[in-house]
């Protein structure tokens, strides 16, 4: 079963693979980061670089995005008792260049980064903010029966990004370069706007290889 989680930032997470979201692939130009055309809808694939990150609340994975849903068994049905999702801007690298991604408002599909399981009360209380959840289980012996679904884009994972790219100076690369012949190093920036959607996925079939960038003479 697929469930969506909507955060205050407006991002939509699919707890599983969603065929409708694949419409984001249509019309995008598959390109390396070095060769991606500016102001065009591009399909990039790369690795999430280490940098500013979050810690996923249950799996404790360093990540740049996570979403969590906790449900309680009421006997006849499961009821959602807690949801949360958070993200930080992050960099994706593909060996030819870098792209800064702002996931706020993105359509997000998580496949490889899913985790599911059950929680006992100590594990729930260890999560911190969820300790204040009002649960319905009142058996002193059994307690509430809980299950969770956690998705995350972990640092080092491969991710596909589809959106409209703009090119800008790369401040991190500039700091490490003392001289260059063709102007300062640049990176791509992708985010969602009223005019441009942003789609992120770690599903393997969303990650075809890009044409190789031309080698420098």
Q: Which two tokens stand for residue 145?
A: 């029966």
Question: What is the length of the chain?
Answer: 217
pLDDT interval class at 132 (50, 70, 90): low
pLDDT of residue 129: 58
Q: What is the pLDDT of residues 49-67, one digit of tens each?
A: 999 999 998 999 999 999 9
At a CB cut-off of 8 Å and minimum separation 6, what does 3 contact? 15, 16, 69, 149
Count other Cβ atoms within 10 Å, centred on residue 6. Answer: 12
Over residues 182-210, the pLDDT tens digits come to 567 889 999 888 778 888 998 877 766 65
Average pLDDT over residues 131-144: 58
Element containing residue 173 per DSSP (H, E):
helix 171-176
Answer for the pair 59, 116: CB distance below 8 angstroms, yes or no: no
Residues of the chain above pLDDT 90, percent: 34
Residue of 113, 126, 78, 139 whose CA lies nearest to 200: 113
pLDDT on residue 22: 54
* Helix spans in 9-149 (H): 121-125
> What backbone torsions phi and psi does residue 131 show, to the nearest 5 degrees?
-65, -25
Which residue, among 95, 65, 71, 100, has the nearest Cα to 83 in the 3D structure?
71
Find the mean pLDDT for residues 38-47. 91
- The Cα–Cα gap between 66 and 85 comes to 5
pLDDT (mean) for 66-90: 89
- Please tell me the predicted confidence (pLDDT) of residue 161: 93
CA within 13 Å, CB half, 183: 5
């Amino acid at each position: 079963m697929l469930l969506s989680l909507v955060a205050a930032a407006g991002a939509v997470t699919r707890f599983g693979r969603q065929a409708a979201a694949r419409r984001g692939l249509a019309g995008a130009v598959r390109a390396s980061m070095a060769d991606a055309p500016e102001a065009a809808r591009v399909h990039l694939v790369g690795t999430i670089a280490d940098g500013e990150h979050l810690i996923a609340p249950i799996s404790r994975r360093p990540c740049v995005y996570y979403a969590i849903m906790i449900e309680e068994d009421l006997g006849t049905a499961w009821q959602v008792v807690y949801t949360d999702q958070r993200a930080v801007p992050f960099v994706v690298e593909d060996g030819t260049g870098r792209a800064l991604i702002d996931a706020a408002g993105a359509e997000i599909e998580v496949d490889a980064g899913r985790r599911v399981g059950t929680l006992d009360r100590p594990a729930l209380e260890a999560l911190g903010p969820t300790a204040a959840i009002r649960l319905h289980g009142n058996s002193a012996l059994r307690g509430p029966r809980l299950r969770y679904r956690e998705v995350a884009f972990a640092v080092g994972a491969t991710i596909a990004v589809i959106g409209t790219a703009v090119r800008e100076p790369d401040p991190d690369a500039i700091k490490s370069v003392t001289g260059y012949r063709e102007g300062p190093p640049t990176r791509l920036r992708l985010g969602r706007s009223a005019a441009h959607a942003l789609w992120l996925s770690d599903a393997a079939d969303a990650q075809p290889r890009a044409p190789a960038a031309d080698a420098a003479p």
